[in-house]
Amino acid sequence: MGTESLASLVRDDRVQARVYTDPAVFSAELERIFAHAWCYVGHESQVPRPGSFIRAAIANRPLLMVRGEDGGIAVLHNRCPHRGALLVAERCGHVTRFRCPYHAWTFRTDGRLQSVPLPEGYAGIDLEDASLSMQRPPRVAAYRGFVFASLAADGPDLETFLDGTREAIDNIVERSPTGQVEVAGGCFRVRIRNNWKIYLENMHDGLHPMIVHQPSIEPARAVMRRPDPLSPLTEFALAVIAANGQTYETMAGLPVRLFPFGHTEMAAFRANPALDDEFAAYRAELARVRGAERAEALMREARLSTMFYPSASVQATSLQMRVIIPEAVDSTLIEAWTLRLVGAPESLYRRTITLANTVHSPSSVVKHDDVGAYVRVQQGLGGRDAWVDIRRGRNDASTAVSEAYIRNQYRAWRDYMSAA
Ligand code: FES
């Protein structure tokens, strides 16, 4: 599709249905948005020692993030330079070398070709040539341990790209008394049968929780009203579910910040669990390490979610990282990872896990209601003459009841899609 026809699909106040349903638009998005932006790959703690790797993907290109022998982190295309086979099928692991399962070419952990069977068949060919190594994305960079890659050789550097949203990462890292954060536990993966942007458009939608999550809000409140004693984690899980029953007035008071490149951030409507009395000693330790004023500010900065458009969203206060992996025009893989503050109490990390189980697990009583809404949007957009309306709150400050953050996403969408 040409640039002009793509740009005509998105206006300041509405979006054409084909943007969510047309495979040609989706292909263009992979090449013009995902292959140009900085996309989140993983956290350095996921590759703790030389040879550790995890799989990732950007713009439908399979990738590996691997810790090299020198301790550095590399991102490599997970594709054999011989005849293109996927080199590694496991999601994570540890190797001393990568060996292609097809014809056994082997590669060092930095991607350089180590050996091929029957090398005499390559007489006159330099097997040291870089084209025979596992290829690398042109740009890889990390911000405080969070690794991003760009498939484009040119563009803003990572810090510029993350402008405005870096504070969310700063907040997470500095809430660790040791200054260290790690990905811990497993990963929830949910494949949703809808376009990736429908998921993003729900990111700061304060108009839906009290509607979509109504089936779980009332039962949670009913259990909380019972006189029977509950474990602290059950109480916490119920409070997380019940918090979706906020009023429109509360949501209208939650600011949503807008940043360049489509990034956005919504203030939290759930309290930071670390403010509970149980964690007084942790807060005192943080005050000793960071200073009382900074520690207090870190505790009070309450972020529901910060969107690194287009590929990830971190929930800084609740320590969750969600990765958005578009697979087809109507299929998106969402990965939800939990973060642990190294040096903080284990019981605080249990809250992080409980929140993940409560809202991000495929079996959560919250998640399936969201997924049902996304799928209904995808189904409802079948007609090509349909338009999606994104005008709400266009004359107001950006809050959780405004669609300003969606308009901000589409400003970035148009910029990427119309770039030469
Ligand atoms: Fe990998 Fe042939 S495709 S060795």
Is the residue at 1 inside a domain? no
Ramachandran sector of residue 277 (left: φ over 0; alpha: ψ -120 to 50; beta: rest): alpha
Is the residue at 25 inside a domain? no
Is 85's C-beta closer than 6 angstroms to any atom of ligand 1? yes
CB count in 10 Å sphere of residue 145:
20
Q: Which residue, by CA, sits nearest to atom 2 of ligand 1? A: 103
Backbone torsions φ then ψ of 33, nearest 5 degrees: -100, -65
Is the residue at 12 inside a domain? no
In sequence order, the β-bridge partners of residue 399 are 255
What is the three-class DSSP state of 92?
A: strand
329 and 233 inside one domain:
yes
Ligand 1: centre distance to CA 100 (Å): 6
- Which of 97, 120, 150 is where one domain is finished? 150
117 and 180 inside one domain:
no
Q: Which of 78, 99, 105 gets mutated to test ligand 1 (max ligand atoms within 8 A of its CB)?
A: 105
CATH number of the CATH domain containing 86: 2.102.10.10
183 and 111 inside one domain:
no
Whether residue 384 is predicted with pLDDT greater than 80 in this model: the reply is no
- Which of 95, 128, 150 is where one domain is finished? 150
Is 83's C-beta closer than 6 angstroms to any atom of ligand 1? yes
> Tell me: the pLDDT tens digits for 210-227?
999 999 999 999 999 999
Residue 116: domain span: 39-150
State which ligand 1 atom lies nearest to the alpha carbon of 87. Answer: 1
Residue 236 identity: F
Please name the helix (run of DSSP H) or strand (run of DSSP E) that holds residue 32, with its range, or none.
none
- Quick check: pTM over 0.85? yes
Amino acid 420: pLDDT:
62
404 in Cβ contact with 258 (< 8 Å)? yes
Whether residue 271 is predicted with pLDDT greater than 90 in this model: the reply is no
Is 82's C-beta closer than 6 angstroms to any atom of ligand 1? yes
CA 341 to chain centre: 18
Amino acid 237: pLDDT:
95
Ligand 1: centre distance to CA 133 (Å): 12
Alpha helices in 74-200 (DSSP H): 158-161, 166-174, 196-200
Ligand 1: centre distance to CA 391 (Å): 52
> Tell me: the pLDDT tens digits for 311-366?
999 999 999 999 999 999 999 999 999 999 999 999 999 999 999 999 999 999 99
Backbone torsions φ then ψ of 115, nearest 5 degrees: -160, 155
90 and 196 inside one domain:
no
Strands (E), 156-311: 181-192, 256-258, 264-267, 303-308
Q: Which residue, by CA, sits nearest to atom 3 of ligand 1? A: 83
Please name the helix (run of DSSP H) or strand (run of DSSP E) that holds residue 335, with its range, or none.
strand 331-341
CA distance 170 to 179: 10
207 and 303 inside one domain:
yes
Six token digits for residue 115: 């050996």
Total structural domains within the chain: 2
Q: Which residue, by CA, sits nearest to atom 4 of ligand 1? A: 103
Whether residue 118 is predicted with pLDDT greater than 80 in this model: the reply is yes
317 and 187 inside one domain:
yes
168 and 142 inside one domain:
no
Is 122's C-beta closer than 6 angstroms to any atom of ligand 1? no
